[in-house]
Homo-oligomer: A and B are copies of this chain.
Amino acid sequence: MSIESLVTRARHICDVNGARFTTIREKVFRLLADTHGGIGAYELLEQLKASEPAAKPATIYRALDFLTEQGFIHKIESTNAFLLCHHFEQHHPAQLLICDQCGHVEELHSSPLQQEFVKLASEKGFLIQRQTVEAHGSCQSCLKKASND
């Protein structure tokens, strides 16, 4: 999936939603798209400053808020990082597998897990509005590397 294609899709969704995909928002979107794993707000800010020297923390956080509202990104709560979602056509809960060795993050959308969680909550009379499901550990390629040592 090329960055340009992601940008085009994002722009289209903004049009539909009557939201404005401004220059700054697009730049932050592209920076996120260039990142293979999650990236912190302040690291994003450093990168944004290359083309927007006046950028301040509020600049980034406002862009991140916007991108979150549009469903373009997920926040990784356990690391305070942000991750571009590649399937943002509809909002969806996700499960994240975060590799502590290489930093790679894999995004999953398991219905069984999702349903199990909702069911579990409803048994307690709890209505889920949003959720955070994250695992830390080792990804396949890091496990392979480790076993070769």
Which residues on A are within 8 Å of B, measured CB to CB? 77-78, 95, 97, 99-100, 106, 108, 110, 112-113, 116-117, 120-121, 124-140, 143
Contacts and interface: CB of A to CB of B under 8 A. Distances in A.
A121 B140 contact: no
Given A77-B77, A120-B113, A124-B97, A137 B143 contact: no
A112 to B, nearest CB: 6
Contacts of A121: 97, 135, 137
B130 A117 contact: no
Contacts of A133: 117, 131-134
A133 B126 CA distance: 15
Nearest to A104: B126
